Amino acid sequence: MLRDKIINAISEVGFDEYKEISSADIIFADAVFASCKANTCGNYGQNHSCPPLSGDMDTNKQRFLNYDHAIILNKIMFLGEYYEKMESSMTEVFELLDRLRDQLDDEPVMIAGPGGCNLCDECSAKTSEVCRFPDQKRYSMEGSGMDIVTMSRGLGMTYNAGDNKVGFFMMVLY
C-alpha cells in the first residue's frame, strides 16, 4: 500500500514529526505570496517554483488538490547561537528531501519542501529562461502560497522549538 511505503520511507530517512491530513485541508493564503514579494529569501522572480513564476493561487492550489492525501513532515534544526547555521540547516534539510525522493522515486507522489526548486545549481529563472526540467521541478510550500505557520499550529506541530531551534516543513502528496 502506497501510504505504508511513504510512512516507511519517512521513518527510514528520519524526521522529527509528521501529520497526515486531507489535501483539501491544506491552508493557502494570499498573505504568503505578499510576504514572498518582500523577497527576503531572494527567490521572488528568481526561481520557477516561487512567485510570481509559480503561477496564481488557483493554479498552485490545484497542483496540490490533484492528490487526495498529504503528509506534513517536520525536521527541527538548531540555527546556531547567532543564526549562522541557517544556510547549512537548509542544505541538510534538502539532503533529507533528496533521500526521501530517492526512496519514493517510482511512486506516484509529489514532494514539496521549503525554499525554491534546487534541482539545478542555478535556476534558469535567473536568466529569464524557461525551466530546464519542468517534469522534475521541485515545488515549494511557501512558494505555492501555503500557510505552513497556521497549519503547523493547528496540527500541534513544532514551528518554534525555542533556543534557536525551528521546524523545517515538507510535504508528501499521494
Beta bridge partners of 119: none
d(CA 47, CA 128): 10
124 is a site residue for ligand SF4 (CB under 6 A): yes
**Interface with ligand SF4 in residues 136-155 (CB under 6 A):** 136-137
In angstroms, give the least distance from the CB of 19 to ligand SF4.
Answer: 27
Stretch that binds ligand SF4, among 22-30, 54-62, 98-106, 123-131 (CB under 6 A): 123-131
Q: Is 119 in the site for ligand SF4 (CB under 6 A)?
A: yes
Q: What does each C-alpha distance from 90 to 53, 84, 173 come to in angstroms?
A: 22, 11, 21
Radius of gyration of the chain (CA): 15
The verdict on 50 binding ligand SF4 (CB under 6 A) reads no
123 interacts with ligand SF4 by CB under 6 A:
yes
What's the longest Cα–Cα distance across the chain?
44
Q: Does 41 bind ligand SF4 (CB under 6 A)?
A: no
Q: Residue 10 or 146: which CB sits closer to ligand SF4? A: 146
Instruction: Specify the DSSP class assigned to residue 124.
Output: G
The residue within the footprint of ligand SF4, chosen from 43, 49, 74, 89 (CB under 6 A), is 49
DSSP per position, 45-93: TTSTTSTTTT--HHHHHHHHHTSSEEEEEEEEEE--TTSTTHHHHHHHH
Nearest to 6 by CA among 115, 119, 111: 111
Binding piece for ligand SF4, criterion CB under 6 A, among 11-19, 47-55, 64-72, 158-166: 47-55
Q: Where along the sequence are the contacts to ligand SF4 (CB under 6 A)? A: 47-49, 117, 119-120, 123-125, 131-133, 136-137
